[in-house]
Amino acid sequence: MPEAMLPTEVVLGAWVAAGLTLFIYSFLYKDNPLFKLGEHLYVGISVGYSVVLAWHTVFLRLLWEPLQKAVGEAPASPDSYVLLIPATLGVFMLTRFIPQISWLSRIAFAFVVGFGSGVAIPRTISSYILKQIEDTVNPLLTMGAGGLTMGFDLAAPQSGVNTIILLVGVVSVLFYFFFSVEHTGAGMVTARTGIYFLMIAFGAAFGYTVMSRMSLLIGRFRDLITFAGAAYGYATLVLLAVTVLSLVGWELATRRKTGGASPE
Amino acid sequence: MIFLKRQLPLAITFVMGIAFTFQYYIPHPVSEDAITNVSKWMQIISGFALFLGLASLFHVHAVKITRQVPGWGFSLALYVAMIGTIVIGFWSHGETKVDGGQTAFGWLYDYTMVPLQGTMFSILAFFIASAAYRAFRARSREASVLLVAAVVVMMGRVPLGQFLLPWTWDVTQWLLNVLNSAVRRAILIGVSMGAVALSLKIILGIERSYLGGGRDQ
């Protein structure tokens, strides 16, 4: 049975996606014009995308449409024009490019930074300091049918033994970063314990990051394999050949220019 | 003029900082409305800030193109990609899908943004591997602990590792949920204390670097 034809935009998209993916992976050989092209396209497209999103989600939905509606409903009310305040502050930010009036941008920055600082203080204390301390100091013993018991199950994060490990970890790591007391004697033991906790956490974080990158890599390779099929016009294979030939040509041209030496 | 350039920004920071610090402790509709509205204002202002960055990017690459410095063609490609995306985005009214169908803007997102972003991040897998070789040589007891933790987590996160060493799954969960949590918690407490101290310094006008340099500061 003949394979169903894919829509043209899907096939075209496959060629573009495969080409851009191979251009970026060409960096594994060395820095080259194909990678630079892919890199610059990535920046350009990302910025363009952010501009379009900002225009539609911020300027239209948060500023223009509510302002138009409010002024239309009550043109005489000063409340209808309240959104002109952030708009003016936004325009003040752009005065950074005009040296004579660039000081106006300070007013906008002051507003943003003042708000951010004010909002951060109570929320940081509540969510990141008090809440974290509260979660660290859990009860060791629990009241069950057989009276007071302490959990020794390492697989249960809330068990008594894990609570002790967690407490030791938090205190020792905090102590390691506390430099007002000399790390000698018992202090040295505590700081060393903190280092071991840090090393385990860094190792775990590293392993976790590696695996997440690997899953992205697998995703890209899966796409490349899919696009290598006949339904997509063997996009990956053709573009791989083009990429390799381009790199060989670039390498030869550069060596000729530099008198036989490798560009790097 | 000195008041407008120097004291007014500091006064605005102080008033905004104090007002929104206390706002948290006032559970009143007026207070709730204030934070909701000003948060929207911040989104609007940050939208303008995006244009600040955009103008800076335009300037940097315009200089490269006009002076025709080596690699100026890439700057031109950046311009074409950026303007092309903006034009297509406005033409599609910022929508990636309309009535279940993909728009040109959606096509651009699916076939350029997604692969480029995924590839850029995935390429780090190779560099992480080479960095791991340098970092993981067990030259000290601390490096050995880091190596063992990383290997156990890597094994515990993939089916092959779990098949070869079934215990790695449980140990990985314990490492992430208990030991890693303890360290993250300690770092979070330390960073938060620093953030609170910095916020206080900003509100009280001790830290002024956000206002930029210049004689007027």
| C-alpha torsion angle, residues B199, A174, B137, A203 (rounded to 10) | -80
In a domain, B99, yes or no: no
If one counts the domains in chain B, the total is 2
pLDDT score, position B213 = 63
Strands in A86-197 per DSSP E: 141-144, 147-150
- Report CB contact under 8 Å: A220, B23: no
**Is the pLDDT score of A1 beyond 60?**
no
* Residue pairs spanning A and B at CB distance below 8 A: 392
CA distance A132 to B184: 10
In a domain, B83, yes or no: no
Q: Rounded to whole angstroms, what are the CA distances from A83 to A59, A113, A114, B9, B216?
A: 11, 19, 19, 20, 30
Q: Which amino acid is at A43?
A: V
Among the candidates B53, B68, B83, a domain finishes at B68
**Nearest-neighbour CA in chain A from B29: distance (Å):** 17
pLDDT score, position B6 = 81
pLDDT score, position A159 = 84
**Is the pLDDT score of A264 beyond 60?**
no
Q: Is the dihedral of CA B109, B111, B115, B116 positive or negative?
A: negative
In a domain, B15, yes or no: yes
- Report CB contact under 8 Å: A44, B80: yes
Spatial CB neighbours of A250, under 8 Å, sequence gap ≥ 6: A32, A33, A34
Q: Within the 34-73 window of chain B, which residues sit less than 8 Å (CB to CB) from chain A?
A: 35, 37-38, 40-52, 54-55, 57, 71
CA distance A236 to A17: 9
**Is the pLDDT score of A202 beyond 70?**
yes
Among the candidates B15, B40, B68, a domain finishes at B68
In a domain, B23, yes or no: yes
CA distance A124 to B188: 10
- Report CB contact under 8 Å: A90, B48: yes
Contact B217, B6 (CB under 8 A): yes
- Report CB contact under 8 Å: B123, A17: no
Among the candidates B24, B46, B68, a domain finishes at B68
Task: State which residues form the domain around B143.
Answer: 136-194
Residues of chain B with C-beta less than 8 angstroms from the C-beta of A21: 115-116, 118-119
User: Highest-confidence range of A201-210, A214-223, A241-250, B154-163, by mean pLDDT?
Assistant: A241-250
Select the residue from A6, A79, A115 to test the B interface by mutation, using most B Cβ atoms within 10 A. A115
Tens-binned pLDDT, residue by residue, of chain B (217 aa): 777 788 899 999 999 999 999 999 999 999 999 999 999 999 999 999 998 889 889 999 999 999 999 999 999 999 999 999 999 999 999 999 998 889 999 999 999 999 999 999 898 888 887 777 777 676 788 888 988 998 899 899 888 888 899 999 999 999 999 999 999 999 999 999 999 999 999 999 998 888 876 555 4
- Identify the helix (H) or strand (E) that includes residue A44: helix A33-54
Residue A14: pLDDT band (50, 70, 90) is very high
In a domain, B58, yes or no: yes
**Is the pLDDT score of A64 beyond 70?**
yes
- Which of A46-55, A90-99, A142-151 comes out lowest in average pLDDT? A142-151
Q: How many residues does chain B have?
A: 217
pTM reported for the whole predicted model: 0.84
Residues of chain A with C-beta less than 8 angstroms from the C-beta of B129: 210
CA distance A108 to A112: 6
